[in-house]
């Protein structure tokens, strides 16, 4: 723990923390540094300090961990997309599970001593969706944002992409480099479940030629293009070429997913995720909060007499309606915010599933969910910190905030299962399914 030169520190890495960094201590400071592993001795240079917290960049690994692996991508450490390619996949799973338990305890006051069911993924070629930023030229390039920056790292490969997306990247790179699409600001590509058709969103600052001519350029570059959406920021105008959606087959279900709708990005784990959420769900009335395109609503409608789906995204709600109709099931849909829905009185559901964005519910909305009084809740989360905060409310742990001021008693829930789905290998992201049952 000796400073070797101005702003440079040498110290041991004690553990990995959520966010992709390693934690250590030096000169009375808690130091966070990326691309390190527990047990390693490192040299790092401080880049930011606030009170007793120091953020640092890695200079050298003095003592390497036996679990350090050779990254699969030449851009690892520069590109901000992946955080754990220097760690063997088995160690990634273990570290993420440890981080999940620690986060629940530290932020939610929840000490879960039971099993965390593990659902691993093939560690590469799993992503069915990617967003690519444009690097200004000359010549321009396509890539991902640098860590914590608005600057773009131009990429020539991305091993976590599905084969169809990787091929799409290869095809659009020369198109971007040739400046064949002036004004282009970003691209989003989505592959169907067969990994054969591509749906593309292309954002322009301003159209410099007709939308039809630009569509022909994209069709020439991406022959398996199934649907294309062009958007112009200056006028907020959209131009659609194609049906406006791709289809995803999961188990016996078929889902229409539009250009502006959400769908799970790991093409290998969708069926396993669907089965784990809906398995054992039973009763007459189910509610799907943040329902999206009906990924859970449609299967639940085969099990329950009544299913209600709630989502504020109009594009997703349209897809949900179409998917319910195609499956021959009835779903009562609500195009509104979840908190607004929960503020109104509703019959007590037998089962509630929710898959909120990274911000989670928030404590006030978690209180409303508890008051709804469902017999069972399946909470799917992509952020263990916000999940821990919401679970503290639902379980009334010691970390639960005192937001319930109306004097009415609300139901308390007990955690019965925790699942970790590694939907995002090579990154710090953790997808968690928590099954809760109303305490008697």
d(CA 412, CA 352): 15
Compute φ and ψ for 389, nearest 5 degrees: -60, -45
d(CA 281, CA 328): 20
The tokens of 337 are what? 């915010």
Average pLDDT in the 293-306 region?
98
Q: Which CATH architecture has domain 3-63?
A: Beta Barrel (2.40)
Flag whether pLDDT at 6 surpasses 60: no
Q: pLDDT tier at 338 (50, 70, 90 boundaries)?
A: very high
Flag whether pLDDT at 15 surpasses 70: yes
d(CA 229, CA 239): 6
pLDDT digits (tens, 9 = 90+) for 111-133: 999 999 999 999 999 999 999 99
DSSP 8-state secondary structure symbol assigned to residue 241: E
Q: pLDDT tier at 92 (50, 70, 90 boundaries)?
A: very high
Pick the CATH number of 116-120+246-438 from 3.20.20.70, 3.40.640.10, 3.40.50.150, 3.40.50.2020: 3.40.50.150
Which H helix or E strand runs over 13? Answer: none
Q: What is the pLDDT of residue 383?
A: 97
Flag whether pLDDT at 94 surpasses 60: yes
More confident residue, 178 or 273: 273
CATH 2.40.50.140 occupies which residues in the chain? 3-63
Query: Looking at the whole model, is its pTM more than 0.85?
Result: yes
More confident residue, 402 or 229: 229
Flag whether pLDDT at 337 surpasses 70: yes
CATH 2.40.50.1070 occupies which residues in the chain? 129-244
Q: What is the pLDDT of residue 407?
A: 56
Please tell me the least confidently modeled range out of 78-82, 334-338, 400-404, 427-431.
Answer: 400-404
Question: What class does CATH assign to 129-244?
Answer: mainly beta
Strand ranges (DSSP E) for 83-157?
Answer: 116-119, 129-135, 141-145, 152-154
Q: What is the pLDDT of residue 179?
A: 77
Q: What is the pLDDT of residue 139?
A: 84
Please, what is the average pLDDT of the chain? 94
pLDDT digits (tens, 9 = 90+) for 196-221: 999 999 999 999 899 999 999 999 99
- Residues, the chain, total? 440
CATH 3.40.50.150 occupies which residues in the chain? 116-120+246-438
Q: Which of 372, 381, 357 is nearest to 434 (CA)?
A: 381
Compute φ and ψ for 173, nearest 5 degrees: -60, -50
Distance of CA 329 to the CA centre of its chain: 28
d(CA 399, CA 105): 9
Q: pLDDT tier at 370 (50, 70, 90 boundaries)?
A: very high
The tokens of 228 are what? 């294309």
3-class SS of residue 123: coil
Flag whether pLDDT at 362 surpasses 80: yes
Q: pLDDT tier at 5 (50, 70, 90 boundaries)?
A: very low
d(CA 13, CA 25): 8
Average pLDDT in the 135-139 region?
83
Q: What is the pLDDT of residue 410?
A: 77
pLDDT digits (tens, 9 = 90+) for 371-423: 999 999 999 999 999 999 999 999 998 666 655 555 567 789 999 999 999 99
Q: pLDDT tier at 261 (50, 70, 90 boundaries)?
A: very high
pLDDT digits (tens, 9 = 90+) for 236-260: 999 999 999 999 999 999 999 999 9
pLDDT digits (tens, 9 = 90+) for 34-63: 999 999 999 999 999 998 999 999 999 999
**What percent of the chain stands above pLDDT 90?**
88
């Amino acid at each position: 723990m000796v400073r070797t030169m101005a702003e440079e520190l040498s110290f041991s890495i004690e553990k990995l923390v959520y966010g992709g960094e390693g934690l250590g201590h030096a000169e009375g400071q808690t130091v966070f540094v990326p691309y390190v592993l527990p047990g390693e001795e490192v040299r790092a240079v401080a880049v930011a300090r606030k009170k007793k917290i120091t953020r640092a960049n890695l200079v050298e690994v003095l003592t390497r961990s036996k679990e350090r692996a050779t990254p699969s991508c030449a851009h690892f450490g520069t590109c901000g997309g992946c955080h754990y390619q220097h760690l063997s996949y088995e160690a990634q799973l273990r570290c993420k599970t440890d981080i999940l338990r620690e986060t629940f305890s530290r932020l939610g006051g929840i000490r879960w001593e039971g099993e965390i069911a593990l659902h691993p993924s093939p560690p590469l070629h799993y992503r069915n969706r990617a967003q690519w930023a444009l690097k200004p030229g000359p010549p321009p390039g396509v890539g991902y944002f640098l860590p914590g920056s608005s600057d773009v790292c131009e990429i020539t490969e991305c091993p976590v992409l599905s084969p169809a997306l990787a091929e799409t990247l290869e095809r659009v790179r020369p198109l971007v480099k040739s400046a064949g699409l002036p004004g282009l600001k970003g691209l989003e590509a989505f592959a169907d479940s067969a990994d054969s058709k591509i749906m593309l969103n292309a954002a322009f600052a301003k159209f410099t030629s007709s939308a039809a001519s630009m569509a022909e350029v994209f069709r020439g570059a991406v022959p398996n293009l199934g649907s294309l959406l062009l958007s112009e920021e200056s006028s907020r105008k959209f131009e659609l070429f194609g049906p406006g959606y791709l289809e995803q087959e999961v188990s016996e279900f078929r889902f229409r997913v539009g250009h502006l709708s959400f769908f799970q990005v790991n093409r290998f784990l969708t069926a396993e995720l669907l089965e784990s959420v809906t398995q054992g769900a039973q009763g007459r009335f189910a509610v799907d909060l943040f329902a999206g395109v009906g990924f859970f609503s449609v299967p639940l409608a085969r099990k329950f007499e009544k299913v209600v789906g709630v989502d504020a995204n109009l594009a997703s709600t349209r897809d949900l309606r179409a998917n319910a109709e195609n499956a021959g099931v009835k779903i009562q849909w609500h195009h509104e915010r979840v908190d607004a829905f929960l503020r109104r009185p509703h019959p007590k559901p037998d089962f509630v599933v929710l898959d909120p964005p990274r911000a989670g519910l928030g404590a006030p909305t978690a209180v409303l969910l508890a008051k709804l009084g469902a017999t069972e809740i399946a909470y799917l989360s992509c952020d263990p910190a916000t999940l821990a905060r919401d679970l503290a409310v639902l379980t009334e742990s010691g970390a639960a905030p005192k937001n319930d001021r109306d004097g009415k008693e609300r139901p308390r829930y007990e955690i019965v299962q925790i699942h970790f789905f590694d939907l995002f290998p090579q990154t710090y992201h953790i997808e968690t399914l928590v099954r809760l049952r109303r305490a008697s």
